[in-house]
């Protein structure tokens, strides 16, 4: 190949020589101007939202790799979907290496921001809010990455989601750090995902604070390797407002951490206070299922040292009076339903952590048949912590 042909080949495969910045101002025609910029952007481009309120009537979409969408701040650049005509999300992202930062979405008819199959995605300083407060008619999810490898959600705020404020599903290599989630059904939910670090978040005034679930019948199965560390879960006392039939409609008001049917969850260094049902609950999935790949039991859950304050004094559970009497007026900090393949593989607790089991013996058994007793497990002082979290390259985008 001669030099001219080689140079032409290199130019054809190279990234753009100069990324462009597309500045979008609020005002008349904002819907069309913003969507046009999202369509015409090239990899490496930045779309900048000026300060102000963007009144939008339809959802937005991005399907270009390597684009940054940046606002002037989560309280300065606001995408207002109050008049949205359809029922979809506010913004749908289906491309890789996207960074979303420093803007807000309000009152979307569906989810706030959903990214699907979008690898190496960053959400930073994003606010998603349903300003009318907790309502069944609010969108299900605020920040909603699904089917992705490499997810970073940091410094964001979600309020009012009728399912989960921050939900990461069917994904891997995840960090959810330094966010505020309040007045949602679930504050943060990690579902059917692996290698997740959830740290430094505040979950308050939700129905449940942090949820780690594994569910049957989904394209990606066998979630695990989840670390919940240095979070604050307090005052999670909002009545459950999820639509009937939703899986989180069964979450009890006043749950700090709920682990269901997951494999390998470490809970340590967290502060839990005034969660009236229970600070930490570990349970099996008890609904019928036909997925042969699915294990409904919680396995290898480790509760290390945490700061436990008041809690468990008003549990929203069947047989409440019986349970309170059995436990002396308040449920213990760690509560396990007792359903497992083997007790040794289900749950381990650090020295000094108080844990009890309901000693249920079969799926569907009434709590009235519970036989509460202390967890007869050997306390653990050490455990293997897997390598979890988003790739370092995603963190570098925030510098």
- Tens of pLDDT, residue by residue over 187-224, are 999 999 999 999 999 999 999 999 999 999 999 988 99
Average of per-residue pLDDT across 96-115: 98
Residue 301 shares a structural domain with residue 191: yes
Query: Domains in the chain: how many in total?
Result: 2
Residue 118 shares a structural domain with residue 193: no
Token pair listed for 53:
């309120």
Residue 186 shares a structural domain with residue 69: no
153, with CB counted inside 10 A (0-12, 13-18, 19+), is buried
Is residue 74 a part of any domain in this protein? yes
Final residue belonging to a domain, choices 96, 111, 129: 129
Is residue 7 a part of any domain in this protein? no
Final residue belonging to a domain, choices 129, 164, 185: 129
Could you give the angle at the alpha carbon of 241 between the alpha carbons of 239 and 247, nearest 5°?
110
Tell me how far CA of residue 74 lies from CA of 32, 145, 155, 317, 329, in angstroms. 22, 19, 10, 38, 43
- Report yes or no: 168 and 153 within 8 Å, Cβ to Cβ: yes
Is residue 4 a part of any domain in this protein? no
pLDDT of the residue at 6: 42
pLDDT of the residue at 191: 98
- Residues 129 and 145: their CA atoms lie apart, in Å, by 17
Is residue 6 a part of any domain in this protein? no
Is residue 158 a part of any domain in this protein? no
Residue 191 shares a structural domain with residue 309: yes
| Whether pLDDT at 143 is above 90 | yes
- Report yes or no: 105 and 128 within 8 Å, Cβ to Cβ: yes
Residue 124 shares a structural domain with residue 234: no
Residue 267 shares a structural domain with residue 202: yes
Domain interval for residue 343: 174-389
Query: What are 234-287's pLDDT values in tens digits?
Result: 999 999 999 998 999 999 999 999 999 999 999 999 999 999 999 999 999 988
Who wins on pLDDT, 392 or 328?
A: 392
Residue 82 shares a structural domain with residue 227: no
301, with CB counted inside 10 A (0-12, 13-18, 19+), is buried
Residue 118 shares a structural domain with residue 230: no
pLDDT of the residue at 10: 37
Residue 355 shares a structural domain with residue 226: yes
Residue 106 shares a structural domain with residue 192: no
Indicate the pTM of the whole model: 0.93
Average of per-residue pLDDT across 115-140: 98
Mean pLDDT of the chain: 91
| Whether pLDDT at 115 is above 80 | yes
Token pair listed for 355:
């844990």
Percentages (nearest 5) of helix, strand, coil residues in the chain = 10, 35, 50
Residue 315 shares a structural domain with residue 199: yes
pLDDT of the residue at 337: 87
| Whether pLDDT at 370 is above 80 | no
Is residue 10 a part of any domain in this protein? no
Band of pLDDT at residue 346, cut at 50, 70 and 90: confident
Band of pLDDT at residue 393, cut at 50, 70 and 90: very high
Provide CB contacts within 8 A for 199, sequence distance 6+.
175, 176, 177, 178, 227, 228, 229, 230, 231
Residue 232 shares a structural domain with residue 364: yes
pLDDT of the residue at 12: 42
**355-357 vs 373-374, strand pairing mode:** antiparallel
Is residue 267 a part of any domain in this protein? yes
Is residue 68 a part of any domain in this protein? yes
pLDDT of the residue at 372: 79
The H or E element spanning position 336 is strand 334-336
């Amino acid at each position: 190949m001669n030099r001219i042909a080689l140079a032409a080949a290199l130019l054809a495969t190279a990234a753009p020589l100069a990324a462009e910045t597309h500045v979008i101002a609020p005002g008349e025609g904002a819907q069309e101007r913003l969507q046009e910029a999202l369509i015409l952007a090239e990899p490496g481009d930045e779309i900048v939202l000026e300060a102000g309120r963007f009144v939008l009537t339809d959802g937005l979409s991005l399907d270009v790799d390597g684009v940054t969408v940046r606002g002037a701040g989560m309280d300065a650049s606001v995408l207002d979907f109050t008049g949205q005509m359809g029922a979809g999300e506010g913004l749908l992202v289906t491309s890789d290496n996207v960074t979303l930062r420093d803007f807000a979405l309000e009152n979307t008819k569906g989810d706030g921001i959903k990214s699907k199959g979008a690898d190496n995605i960053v959400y930073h300083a994003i606010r998603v809010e349903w300003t009318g407060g907790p309502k069944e008619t609010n969108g299900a999810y605020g920040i909603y990455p699904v089917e992705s490898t490499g997810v970073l959600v940091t410094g964001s705020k979600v309020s009012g989601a009728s399912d989960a404020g921050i939900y990461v599903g069917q994904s891997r290599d995840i960090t959810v750090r330094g966010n505020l989630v309040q007045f949602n059904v679930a504050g943060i939910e990690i579902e059917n995902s692996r290698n997740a670090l959830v740290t430094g978040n505040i979950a308050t005034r939700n129905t449940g604070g942090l949820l780690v679930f594994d569910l049957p019948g989904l394209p990606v199965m066998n979630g695990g390797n989840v670390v919940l560390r240095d979070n604050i879960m307090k005052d999670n006392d909002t009545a459950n407002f999820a639509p009937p039939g939703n899986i989180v409609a069964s979450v009890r008001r006043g749950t700090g951490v709920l682990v269901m049917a997951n494999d390998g969850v470490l809970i340590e260094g967290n502060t839990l206070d005034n969660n009236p049902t229970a600070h930490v609950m570990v349970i099996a999935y008890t609904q019928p299922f036909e997925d042969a790949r699915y294990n409904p039991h919680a396995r290898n859950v480790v509760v290390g040292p945490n700061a436990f304050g008041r809690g468990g004094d008003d549990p929203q559970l069947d047989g409440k009076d019986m349970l309170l009497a059995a436990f002396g007026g308040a449920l213990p900090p760690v509560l396990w339903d007792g359903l497992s393949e083997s007790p040794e593989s289900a749950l381990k607790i650090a020295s000094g952590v108080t844990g009890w089991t309901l000693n249920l013996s079969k799926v569907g058994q009434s709590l009235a048949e519970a036989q509460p007793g202390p967890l007869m497990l050997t306390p653990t002082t050490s455990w293997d912590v897997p390598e979890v979290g988003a790739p370092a390259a995603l963190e570098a985008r925030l510098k």
